Amino acid sequence: MSSTTSATPAGATHGTTTVVTNIATLVTNDPSLGDGSPLGLIHDAAVVIDGDRVAWTGESSKAPATDNRVDAGGRAVIPGFVDSHSHLVFAGDRTEEFNARMSGRAYSAGGIRTTVAATRAATDAELEATLTRYLAEALRQGTTTLETKSGYGLTVEDESRALRIAAAHTDEVTYLGAHIVPPDHAEDPAAYVALVTGEMLDACAPYARWIDVFCEKGAFDGDQARAILTAGRARGLHPRVHANQLTYGPGVQLAVELDAASADHCTHLTDQDVDALANSSTVATLLPGAEFSTRAEWPDARRLLDAGVTVALSTDCNPGSSFTSSVPFCIALAVRDMRMTPDEALWSATAGGARALRRDDVGRLSPGAYADLAVLDAPSHVHLAYRPGVPLVSEVWRRGRRAA
């Protein structure tokens, strides 16, 4: 043994330390830091990364010594986006459906069947190639945590393989066997619910963290949704709900009743629905890409925020109703058309997404969090809405390493 080998400090495992300095505006999402706002904004800031975690954040002039130094060049740094709602295990193409809809045809849940047929016919390798393509696309746009779902298989074999493929690429995997009643069960929806809560659940639970239901007219009603979510919970899966997207309905109340992490869409809400969300730990996840792509009425984000509801913003990336992986695009829509402030939209797309996944190790840049961050080619996060459609994400770091 050489006596000249330097000793590793005792205690927690540490990696190489790196300071990212000369940050014009840093969003920490820690209100105890910086300006004391919910975004915890620090100007002329630095972030110290130790291994895969954030070790320190503060003013550049006060940064501790590190092994490496990276100059952000006066750009803004934000937490990597936490996209808590996507459907990326799919095959097939629905360009023509979008084209027809933009020519005046109304959206109906039935369009999902097109993707189900193509997904069942695809090989594992084809599904995995599509998933990884869109994960990489999302990463380049600043998304460092991404949830995705099954829901285009709707058989025991096809749902479980979708989740197995998803679980190889993300920790946030959701079993959505209850996306629609498939055509082969159209005459007997009760038998399909029995399958989703029985044999299919058994096959899928090992690969998933969450269980979800599309609670909507034409999909699953409140009683069916309760039965499905309750069965999932008994198998250790946590509920989340596609709720109140196309019409008023029981989805939001059910999500709150079952302490779901998130009620997603929330486009058609009664005052009672808003009150229930405000008095719960269920996040309202808004998905403006869906309203954009179906030319539908926007969810009323202002009403939810003013009532004290925790709001997340996510893409709903899927081939039918919202084929965007761009969180910056959703932020721009939320600010322009849903009356969120630029600060609120940024928070909802980062810390809000983390809340919707019940995570506290992502969605913030303060000590202990994963070093997941996006560097913007702009002096502040406000530019994400101020310069819509412009690819401002110039660098992405995930788990302490440059990833895009």
**Burial of residue 153, with CB atoms counted within 10 A of its CB: 0-12 exposed, 13-18 middle, 19 or more buried:** buried
Residue 242 known to bind ligand: yes
Q: Which is nearer to Zn ion, 349 or 393 (CB)?
A: 349
178/196 Cα distance (integer angstroms): 7
30 vs 212, which CB is nearer to Zn ion? 212
**Residue 352 assigned to a binding site:** no
Q: How far is the CB of 70 from Zn ion (least distance, A)?
A: 37
Annotated binding residue 221: no
Nearer to Zn ion, 291 or 316 (CB): 316
The answer on whether 253 is annotated among ligand-binding residues is no
Nearest residue (beta carbon) to Zn ion? 316
Q: How far is the CB of 245 from Zn ion (least distance, A)?
A: 8
CA dist 111 and 372 (Å) reads 36
| Residues paired with residue 402 on neighbouring β-strands, in sequence order | 397
Of residues 78, 70, 67, the one with CA closest to residue 14 = 67
**Residue closer to Zn ion (CB basis): 40 or 250:** 250
Q: How far is the CB of 339 from Zn ion (least distance, A)?
A: 23
Minimum CB–partner distance for residue 229 and Zn ion (Å)? 15
**Rounded CA separation 163/211 (Å):** 11
Q: How far is the CB of 212 from Zn ion (least distance, A)?
A: 8
Looking only at residues 311 through 370 of this chain, which bind Zn ion when binding is defined by CB under 5 A?
316
Nearer to Zn ion, 58 or 353 (CB): 353
60 annotated ligand binder: no
User: Binding residue per annotation — 198?
Assistant: no
Q: Which C-beta is closer to Zn ion: that of 159 or that of 316?
A: 316
107 has binding-site annotation:
no
Q: Which is nearer to Zn ion, 316 or 372 (CB)?
A: 316
* Residue 87 annotated as binding site: yes
Smallest gap, in angstroms, from Cβ of residue 225 to Zn ion?
A: 14
Task: State the minimum distance, in angstroms, from the CB of residue 228 to Zn ion.
Answer: 15
Residue 26 or 82 having the CB closest to Zn ion: 82
- Give the x-and-dash track for 263-302 against Zn ion (CB under 5 A): ----------------------------------------
CB of 242 to Zn ion, least distance (A): 5
Check the annotation: does 120 bind a ligand: no
Spell out the SS3 assignment of the chain.
CCCCCCCCCCCCCCCCEEEEEEEEEECCCCCCCCCCCCCCCEEEEEEEEECCEEEEEEEHHHCCCCCEEEECCCCEEEECEEECCECCCCCCCCHHHHHHHCCCCCCCHHHHHHHHHHHHHCCHHHHHHHHHHHHHHHHHCCEEEECEECCCCCCHHHHHHHHHHHHCCCCCEEEEEECCCCHHHCCCHHHHHHHHHCHHHHHHHHHCCEEEEEECCCCECHHHHHHHHHHHHHCCCEEEEEECCCCCCCHHHHHHHCCCCEEEECCCCCHHHHHHHHCCCCEEEECHHHHHHCCCCCCCHHHHHHCCCCEEECCCEECCCECCCCHHHHHHHHHHHCCCCHHHHHHHHHHHHHHHCCCCCCCCCCCCCECCEEEECCCCCCHHHHCCCCCCEEEEEECCEECC
Whether 238 has a binding-site annotation, put simply, is no
Tell which residue, 203, 162, 202, has the closest CA to residue 179. 162
Task: Return the number of the residue (158 or 316) whose C-beta is nearest Zn ion.
Answer: 316
| Total interface residues for Zn ion by CB under 5 A | 1
Contact set for Zn ion, span 302-321 (CB under 5 A): 316
**Residue 43 labelled as part of a binding site:** no
Could you tell me the smallest distance in angstroms from the CB atom of residue 50 to Zn ion? Answer: 36
Binding residues for N-formimidoyl-L-glutamate: 152, 318, 320
Binding residues for 4-imidazolone-5-propanoate: 94, 152, 179, 245, 321
Binding residues for Zn(2+): 85, 87, 242, 316
Binding residues for Fe(3+): 85, 87, 242, 316
| Residues at the interface with Zn ion (CB under 5 A) | 316
Binding residues: 85, 87, 94, 152, 179, 242, 245, 316, 318, 320-321
